[in-house]
């Protein structure tokens, strides 16, 4: 069975068997590195990709149903030379530890921010509630998204908001 | 009706494995441009051990961290390490690394002494230079010393370090030294208990870890955040055998086939469950540890559960002595209390 | 000795050295590794809590085109491992001891094919009575789980630990202490088997190299510790087995015991092809270890002014189907049950009982979380009894530098006071 | 509209069926008919008295539509609180009904709103209430090849309450939805549906009878809500014990009714 879809803007054609999920196609056939395989039950969010603007678990999408659609993975945001500001925000706040859930987290954050550029804290938590992380307690990842939103907002970039995130960790006692 | 409560808890933790030798070894090589290669058998599972080792080496040689590269966890290319467990990597790995760095420094100092016509003991390292204590004019960049040692003195600036943490298995009466250092942690939890449904929500939690010396502060704070949320998960609902914790014998509802098989039934906390976590660290500076550092990883998961149970008592006046404090147990305890007061 | 001073690099936050790779998705974990000619493995987990294995029929599975091998314990008969007691097989040997234990493992061309073949492996069980509560396992007449290692490692279901079969601490005289105490509190506590559950489940890729050895990439926390077990199952000298841990997606203790490494290495040796075994989270939940559930009886004696005089704690630890790290963890429970407080008389008695539950593995806290829960709740109960502020009660009895712990060790750089003050001040305790 | 596929199953969002297929052997005779691309079924239209919801409408579309929030508040809350964002972007209303899980949040809200499903099949078209379609856990009365195409949800004041093991991505331990028709402060008509406390969603008939015609007040509603215990038959499972469900269902029912009245204009 032939499948044609757009992966990160590039048209891709591959030969799949009908019962393959999009995750299997991305991992076993196309060797996409950023999409992670973990729970296969649509509950951990590590395999989150953006399909036509919506964040979805690629382990619950039958590959045959994405014919002609636009699938975006973390590789579409930018590489280490020229990073997307959202990636830079996660880097600067030291938001991740083991980094296994990072790609899924950033894709969910991007999908959330594409629809709602200035979310409140509650909306950020609600938008990222489909991504599980065991290392960070979600403190710094949420900080990173808030710092990105602050940096992107139209009002003059609030320098001390981004600095506060850095200073908070360094000041002895690190109290937020 | 939502009732508020606050609870506190403290904890001790003994570093390193108590009753077995658990050494760590490190190889360090300085190249002629002053950059450093480290090989260690440690495994970085996300706690930031690699970054901490690079920072310690950079501090020792007073060179930028970017010039230090570490390769870990490969039995054919890295020297032995016991394993990433019982909070030992920063302490034991750090000491092993610094022993190896000291060997490299001795080689560099002897080469610099020959170049500067002074004695190796008079040299000290500062700002990327080897300087003479008594004659400020005599100074040599570190990379120059490395090049001279390698190509002129025919001595490769490399070193191997190991560190066996001192431990004597303790006997029945407590005599012995089960651990080389101890670190501490405390947390205060604010909870809200809905006394109609028994649901406990942690609103805010402050937790401070005694890490001796914070090598990488944001990593220490990160470890404290993650450990606190794991402790909250343990306290409120994570259970592989539901209904198995019952003080007087197995619970009537216990059924071994109730084991959760997916992440919906095993309630790992999500972003909506995570409270306001304020993680902090205090520095008690243990001279035994590398630069006074102890550890930060494991202890943060231990005090959240007792602090939450104490807070539940403060809120609704019931003692939950069987973890997890599920809504079922909290509501049962509240009903019993109401009956006792009512009767 | 390192004196206290400010440093150039240390003490200043830095992102992790592999952070750029993390945020751009280039960091490689085991699930991202692919080798040409790689086979996919799928485990067959036991569906019985406690049963004798009568037969394993893999003929239907092997008949499928593209299925290369179905490994069972017959392929590695004399392989046994364990951290303290050698009682754990890689694949169940003539008996399964917990539901989810690996009985066989299939290697096939694709993961879907491996799943299909795994469902065709027929395992015939003869169900045996099972016991789940550690306290029931110690009662006479309970079904015996380890009948081979009786006398050496086990006595009935009691794991023999320490000289007197149980782990004890005898400091001072608790009876005299309780006699002198004004207030005595005795409560029971128990803690639940939490799962470390890092988001990345166990995954191993084993590939034969051209020198007759093996290279094994795996999600593990100690490369050297597990290399020894892999070498013994494939009967190769350690020099021929290269263990590598690429980026690991969290461990929290679950990955420092043996997991899927030996069985994947065995499959690679049998098929002479690279084999990748990746557990799904559901298999990881069923097969790998949990925090040890513990059942405490704590008895604390104190004076009216809050000075702690005597503490006695008995504990039954459920180590699950195999011993794993139960002895090390119970050793810490037996020794450090008194936490960061000076209590002159301390007695403890810790028994370890095996049950037909998942193996108790190391988890973040390694045996300190459970007694801390019991003691800290008991301290608050005592504070309520004495009408004292819980913070004051703790600060009255906590360790102080220069003194000795009740078990004799010197107290150096004690930070418990600093921590308590820090969180009390930050949270506005008492206001 | 749809040719009957022998031995086949209908694939809309796929968030339930693929969980069973992933990591397990795929049955040989399974044929999936993917209807996800039919645009007409993926629309919410508003009429004078009701909302017409296509079977392919996803939870995210429900949670994002102002009309649903205003006129079918219970459905809006249920869609917001079920599963996680990624699953809500794919899970469809039709699929939710087809899976017929006794704990389903959206089905609970729809039944409270007295939604009518329009079913098309080889035997022609018919309308049916959800109570008739869902006959047991994971069992529906849909004949082979029949498919739900559209739901008609009458407008009204309603609310939904849910309790789970955690705040997001959790299957309900107990959920309750209430629809109310107010006249000033008295309840003219009331419908209450309780989920995951019986093999299927059940109507709390005694509570409805007791409260119809009553004046709304917190005390009366909480007192009468205790009657809900008679219409449920909860079990103990890995999520909650029978005792707990019996204790918590009246609380959920009371809260749902009071919230529905508030949404209907009753000020406390």
CA distances from B248 to B259, C260, C288 (A): 21, 37, 28
Count of residues in chain D: 268
Distance CA D268, CA D261 (A): 9
CATH 3.30.365.10 fits B24-162, yes or no: yes
Report the domain count for chain A. Answer: 2
Query: Which pLDDT value is given to residue A171?
Result: 66
Q: Which positions of B are catalytic?
A: 298
D22 pLDDT band, cuts 50/70/90, is: confident
Q: Is residue A176 part of a domain?
A: no
Q: Is the dihedral of CA C251, C253, C256, C258 positive or negative?
A: negative
User: D16 or C178: whose pLDDT is higher?
Assistant: C178
Is residue A94 within 8 angstroms of chain C, CB to CB?
yes
Residue D36 scores a pLDDT above 90: no
Residue A24 scores a pLDDT above 70: yes
Find the mean pLDDT for residues C159-187.
93
Residues A62 and A121 in one domain: no
Contact status, residue C96 vs residue C50, Cβ threshold 8 Å? yes
Distance CA D54, CA D33 (A): 18
Query: Which pLDDT value is given to residue A89?
Result: 93
Q: Is residue A70 part of a domain?
A: yes
User: C149 or C208: whose pLDDT is higher?
Assistant: C208
Q: Report the Cα B90 to chain-centroid distance in Å.
A: 7
C369 pLDDT band, cuts 50/70/90, is: very high
Q: Mean pLDDT, chain D, as a whole number?
A: 87
Ranges of CATH 3.30.365.10 domains, chain B: 2-14+179-342, 24-162
**Boundary residue ending a domain (A76, A102, A131):** A76
A163 pLDDT band, cuts 50/70/90, is: low
Cβ–Cβ of A125/B272 closer than 8 Å? yes
As a dihedral over the C-alpha atoms of residue C268, residue C271, residue C272, residue C273, rounded to 10 degrees, the angle is -70
B299-312 confidence digits (pLDDT tens): 999 999 999 999 99
B241-257 confidence digits (pLDDT tens): 999 888 877 888 899 99
Count CA atoms within 13 Å of residue D209 on its CB side.
Answer: 8
Distance CA B336, CA B195 (A): 12
Residues A145 and A69 in one domain: no
Contact status, residue C291 vs residue C105, Cβ threshold 8 Å? no
Residues A30 and A58 in one domain: yes
Query: Which pLDDT value is given to residue B297?
Result: 87
Which residue range(s) make up the domain with A15? 2-76
Query: Which pLDDT value is given to residue D142?
Result: 83
Query: Which pLDDT value is given to residue D2?
Result: 47
Residue A154 scores a pLDDT above 60: no
Q: Is residue D130 part of a domain?
A: yes
Query: Which pLDDT value is given to residue C77?
Result: 84
Residue C139 scores a pLDDT above 80: yes
Query: Which pLDDT value is given to residue A161?
Result: 61
Q: Is residue D3 part of a domain?
A: no
Which residue, C25, D162, C120, B262, is CA-closest to A60? B262
Find the mean pLDDT for residues C275-281.
94
Contact status, residue C106 vs residue C72, Cβ threshold 8 Å? no
- The backbone torsions φ and ψ at residue C240, rounded to the nearest 5 degrees and listed phi first, read -95, -5
| List of chain B residues whose C-beta atoms are within 8 Å of the C-beta of residue D236 | 253, 255
Q: Mean pLDDT, chain C, as a whole number?
A: 93
List the single residue in A with minimal CA-CA distance to B46: A98
Distance CA B282, CA B288 (A): 17
Q: Is the dihedral of CA C416, C421, C422, C427 positive or negative?
A: positive
Find the mean pLDDT for residues D42-53.
89
**Boundary residue ending a domain (D121, D154, D187):** D154
Contact status, residue B274 vs residue B230, Cβ threshold 8 Å? no
Count of residues in chain B: 343
Find the mean pLDDT for residues C334-360.
94
| List of chain A residues whose C-beta atoms are within 8 Å of the C-beta of residue B228 | 137
Residues A54 and A93 in one domain: no
Query: Which pLDDT value is given to residue D139?
Result: 87
**Boundary residue ending a domain (A76, A97, A126):** A76
Residue D250 scores a pLDDT above 90: yes
Q: Is residue D243 part of a domain?
A: yes
Report the domain count for chain D. Answer: 2
C2 pLDDT band, cuts 50/70/90, is: confident
Find the mean pLDDT for residues D64-91.
91
Q: What is the bridge-based pairing of β-strands C345-354 and C308-320?
A: parallel
Cβ–Cβ of D18/A21 closer than 8 Å? yes
Query: Which pLDDT value is given to residue D192?
Result: 93
D94 pLDDT band, cuts 50/70/90, is: confident
Cβ–Cβ of A169/B281 closer than 8 Å? no
CATH number of the domain at A22, please. Answer: 3.10.20.30
Identify the structural domains of chain C with CATH numbers, from first to last.
36-128+196-287 (3.90.1170.50), 154-195+290-427 (3.30.365.10)
Cβ–Cβ of D163/B267 closer than 8 Å? no
Residues A43 and A8 in one domain: yes
| Local structure of B32: helix, strand or coil | coil
Q: Is residue A18 part of a domain?
A: yes
Residue C206 scores a pLDDT above 90: yes
Residue A159 scores a pLDDT above 60: no
D1 pLDDT band, cuts 50/70/90, is: very low
Q: Is residue A150 part of a domain?
A: yes
- Fold (topology level) of B2-14+179-342: Aldehyde Oxidoreductase; domain 4 (3.30.365)
What do you get for the CA distance between the two ends of chain A, in Å? 54
Residues D69 and D137 in one domain: yes
Query: Which pLDDT value is given to residue D214?
Result: 87
Contact status, residue C390 vs residue B175, Cβ threshold 8 Å? no
In chain B, which stretches have pLDDT less than 70? none
Regarding an ipTM greater than 0.95, the answer is no
Residue D29 scores a pLDDT above 80: no
Q: Is residue A163 part of a domain?
A: yes
Q: Is residue D2 part of a domain?
A: no
CA distances from C59 to C53, C76, C87, D182 (A): 17, 19, 29, 68
Find the mean pLDDT for residues C399-406.
91
Residues A96 and A166 in one domain: yes
CA distances from D165 to B273, D75, D104 (A): 10, 21, 15
**Boundary residue ending a domain (D99, D133, D154):** D154
Contact status, residue A45 vs residue A108, Cβ threshold 8 Å? yes
**Boundary residue ending a domain (D98, D119, D154):** D154
| List of chain C residues whose C-beta atoms are within 8 Å of the C-beta of residue D20 | none
Cβ–Cβ of A65/D11 closer than 8 Å? yes
Query: Which pLDDT value is given to residue D123?
Result: 79
**Boundary residue ending a domain (A58, A76, A94):** A76
CATH number of the domain at D184, please. Answer: 3.30.390.50
Residues A14 and A41 in one domain: yes
Which residue range(s) make up the domain with D46? 8-154
Find the mean pLDDT for residues A116-136.
94
Residue ranges of chain C whose CB lies within 8 Å of a chain D CB: 112, 115-116, 118-120, 280, 282-283
């Amino acid at each position: 069975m032939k499948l044609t879809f757009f992966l990160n803007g590039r048209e891709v054609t591959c030969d799949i068997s009908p019962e393959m999920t999009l995750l299997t196609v991305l991992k076993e056939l196309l060797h996409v590195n950023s999409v992670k395989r973990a729970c296969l039950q649509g509950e951990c969010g590590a395999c989150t990709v953006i399909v036509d603007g919506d964040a979805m678990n690629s382990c619950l999408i039958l590959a045959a149903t994405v014919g002609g659609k636009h699938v975006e993975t973390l590789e579409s945001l930018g590489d280490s030379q020229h990073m997307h500001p959202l990636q830079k925000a996660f880097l600067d706040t030291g938001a991740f530890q083991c980094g296994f859930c990072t790609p899924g987290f950033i894709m969910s954050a991007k999908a959330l921010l594409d629809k709602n550029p200035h979310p409140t804290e509650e909306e950020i938590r609600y938008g990222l509630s489909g991504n599980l992380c065991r290392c960070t307690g979600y403190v710094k990842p949420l900080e990173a998204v808030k710092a990105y939103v602050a940096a992107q907002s139209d009002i003059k970039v609030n320098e001390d908001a981004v600095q506060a995130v850095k200073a908070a960790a360094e000041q002895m006692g690190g109290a937020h | 009706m939502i009732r508020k409560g606050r609870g506190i808890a403290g904890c001790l933790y003994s570093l390193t494995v108590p009753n077995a030798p658990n050494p760590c070894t490190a190889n360090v090589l300085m190249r002629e441009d002053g950059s450093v290669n480290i090989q260690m058998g440690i495994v970085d599972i996300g706690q930031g051990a690699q970054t901490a080792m690079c920072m310690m080496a950079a501090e020792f040689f007073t060179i930028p961290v970017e010039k230090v590269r570490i390769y870990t966890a490969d039995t054919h290319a890295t020297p032995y390490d016991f394993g990433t467990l019982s909070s030992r990597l920063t302490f034991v790995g750090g000491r092993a690394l610094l022993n190896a760095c000291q060997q490299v420094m001795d080689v560099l100092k002897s080469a610099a002494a020959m170049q500067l016509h002074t004695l190796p003991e008079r040299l000290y390292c500062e700002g990327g230079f080897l300087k003479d204590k008594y004659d400020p004019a005599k100074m040599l960049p570190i990379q120059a010393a490395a090049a001279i040692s390698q190509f002129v003195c025919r001595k490769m600036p490399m070193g191997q370090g190991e560190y066996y943490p001192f431990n004597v298995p303790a006997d029945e009466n407590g005599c012995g030294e089960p651990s080389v250092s101890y670190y501490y942690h405390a947390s205060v939890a604010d909870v809200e208990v809905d006394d109609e449904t028994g649901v406990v929500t942690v609103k805010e939690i402050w937790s401070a870890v005694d890490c001796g010396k914070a090598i990488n502060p944001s990593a220490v704070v990160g470890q404290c955040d993650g450990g606190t949320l794991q402790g909250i998960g343990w306290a409120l609902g994570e259970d592989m055998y539901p209904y198995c914790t019952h003080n007087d014998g197995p619970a009537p509802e216990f059924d071994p086939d109730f084991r959760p098989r997916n992440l919906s039934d095993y309630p790992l906390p999500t972003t909506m469950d995570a409270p306001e976590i304020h993680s902090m660290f205090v520095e008690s500076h243990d001279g035994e540890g590398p630069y006074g550092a102890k550890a930060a990883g494991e202890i943060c998961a231990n005090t959240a559960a007792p602090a939450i149970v104490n807070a539940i008592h403060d809120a609704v006046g019931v003692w939950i002595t069987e973890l997890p404090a599920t809504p079922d147990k909290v509501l049962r305890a509240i009903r019993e209390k109401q009956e006792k007061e009512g009767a | 000795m390192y004196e206290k001073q400010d440093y150039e690099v240390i003490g200043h936050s830095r992102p992790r050295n592999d952070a750029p790779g993390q945020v751009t998705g280039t960091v490689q974990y085991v699930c991202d590794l692919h080798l040409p000619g790689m086979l996919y493995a799928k485990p067959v987990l036991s569906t019985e809590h406690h049963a004798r294995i009568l037969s394993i029929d893999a003929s239907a599975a092997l008949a499928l085109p593209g299925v290369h091998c179905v490994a069972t314990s017959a392929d590695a008969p004399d392989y046994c491992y364990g951290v303290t007691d050698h009682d754990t097989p890689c694949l169940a040997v003539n008996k399964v001891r917990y539901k989810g234990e690996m009985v066989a493992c299939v290697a096939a061309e694709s993961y879907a094919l491996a799943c299909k073949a795994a469902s065709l492996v027929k395992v015939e069980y003869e169900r045996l009575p099972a016991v789940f509560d550690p306290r029931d396992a110690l009662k006479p007449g309970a079904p015996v789980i380890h009948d081979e290692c009786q006398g050496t490692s086990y006595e009935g279901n009691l794991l023999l630990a320490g000289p007197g079969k149980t782990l004890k601490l005898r400091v001072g005289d608790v009876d005299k202490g309780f006699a002198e105490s004004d207030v005595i509190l005795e409560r029971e506590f128990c803690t639940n088997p939490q799962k470390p559950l890092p988001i990345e489940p166990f995954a191993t890729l084993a590939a034969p190299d051209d020198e007759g050895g093996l290279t094994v990439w795996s999600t593990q926390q100690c490369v050297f510790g597990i290399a020894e077990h892999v070498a013994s199952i494939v009967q190769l000298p350690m020099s021929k087995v290269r263990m590598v841990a690429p980026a690991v997606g969290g461990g929290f203790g679950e990955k420092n015991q043996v997991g899927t490494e030996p069985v994947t290495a065995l499959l690679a040796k049998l098929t002479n092809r690279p084999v990748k075994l990746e557990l799904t989270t559901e298999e990881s939940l069923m097969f790998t270890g949990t925090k040890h559930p513990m059942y405490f009886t704590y008895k604390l004696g104190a004076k009216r002014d809050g000075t702690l005089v005597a503490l006695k704690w008995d504990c039954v630890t459920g180590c699950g189907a195999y011993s794993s790290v139960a002895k090390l963890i119970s050793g810490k429970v037996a020794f450090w049950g008194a936490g960061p407080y000076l209590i002159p008389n301390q007695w403890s008695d810790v028994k370890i009982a095996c049950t037909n539950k998942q193996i108790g593995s190391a988890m973040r806290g390694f045996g300190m979380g459970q007694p801390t829960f019991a003691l800290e709740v008991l301290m608050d109960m005592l504070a309520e009894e004495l009408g004292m502020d819980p913070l004051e009660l703790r600060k009255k009895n906590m360790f102080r530098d220069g003194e000795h712990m009740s078990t004799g060790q010197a107290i150096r750089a004690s930070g418990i006071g600093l921590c308590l003050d820090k969180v009390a001040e930050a949270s506005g305790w008492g206001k | 509209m749809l040719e009957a596929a022998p031995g086949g199953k209908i694939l809309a969002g796929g968030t339930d069926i693929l969980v069973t297929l992933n990591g397990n052997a795929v049955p040989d005779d399974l044929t999936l008919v993917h209807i996800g691309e039919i645009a007409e079924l993926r629309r919410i239209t508003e009429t004078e008295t009701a909302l017409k919801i296509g079977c392919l409408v996803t939870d995210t579309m429900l949670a994002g539509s102002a009309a649903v929030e205003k006129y079918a508040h219970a459905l809006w809350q249920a869609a917001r609180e079920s599963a996680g964002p990624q699953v809500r972007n794919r899970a469809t209303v039709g699929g939710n009904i087809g899976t017929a899980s006794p704990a389903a949040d959206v089905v609970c809200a729809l039944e409270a709103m007295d939604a009518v499903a329009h079913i098309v099949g080889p035997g022609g078209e018919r309308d049916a209430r959800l109570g008739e379609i869902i006959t047991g856990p994971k069992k529906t009365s849909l004949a082979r090849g029949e498919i739900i195409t559209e739901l008609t949800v009458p407008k009204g004041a309603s609310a939904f309450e849910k309790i789970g093991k955690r705040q997001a991505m959790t299957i309900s331990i107990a959920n309750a939805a209430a629809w109310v028709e107010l006249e000033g402060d008295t309840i003219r008509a009331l419908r209450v549906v309780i989920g995951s406390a019986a093999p299927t969603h059940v109507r709390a008939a005694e509570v409805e009878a007791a409260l119809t015609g009553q004046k709304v007040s917190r005390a009366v509603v909480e007192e009468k809500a205790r009657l809900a215990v008679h219409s449920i038959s909860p079990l103990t499972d890995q999520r909650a014990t029978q005792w707990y469900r019996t204790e918590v269902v009246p609380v959920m029912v009371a809260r749902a009714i009071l919230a529905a009245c508030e949404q209907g204009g009753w000020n406390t």
